[in-house]
Amino acid sequence: MSSQYSESRPLHGSAAQTPLYEKMRDYAHSNKVQELLQKMTSDLFIERPASPVAWMIKWLSEEQKRSESD
């Protein structure tokens, strides 16, 4: 999976003010990405499944179904 962000290139300082950063921030905010990740991470640490990736895939699938039914 390709990403423009990596731990070796964190977003801080002047990089946090770039148009790319603003687009990323606006996207994350408008799609409630941080809330979603916090909820999933909290549930993950409560459940502590043997296979975290499989669990997250299932969790996201179930969350999508819940959000579509609202």
Round to whole Å and give the CA distance between 21 and 10.
11
pLDDT band at 13 (very low <50, low <70, confident <90, very high): low
Number of domains composing the chain: 1
Q: Domain residues for 42?
A: 19-68
Has residue 47 been placed in a domain? yes
Has residue 32 been placed in a domain? yes
Has residue 10 been placed in a domain? no
Has residue 5 been placed in a domain? no
Has residue 46 been placed in a domain? yes
DSSP string, 9-45: B---GGGGGSHHHHHHHHHHHHTTHHHHHHHHHHHHH
pLDDT of the residue at 10: 58
pLDDT band at 12 (very low <50, low <70, confident <90, very high): low
Has residue 43 been placed in a domain? yes
Would the pTM count as exceeding 0.75?
A: no
Round to whole Å and give the CA distance between 57 and 17.
32
Has residue 29 been placed in a domain? yes
Phi-psi group of 64: left, alpha or beta (phi > 0 → left; psi -120 to 50 → alpha; rest → beta): alpha
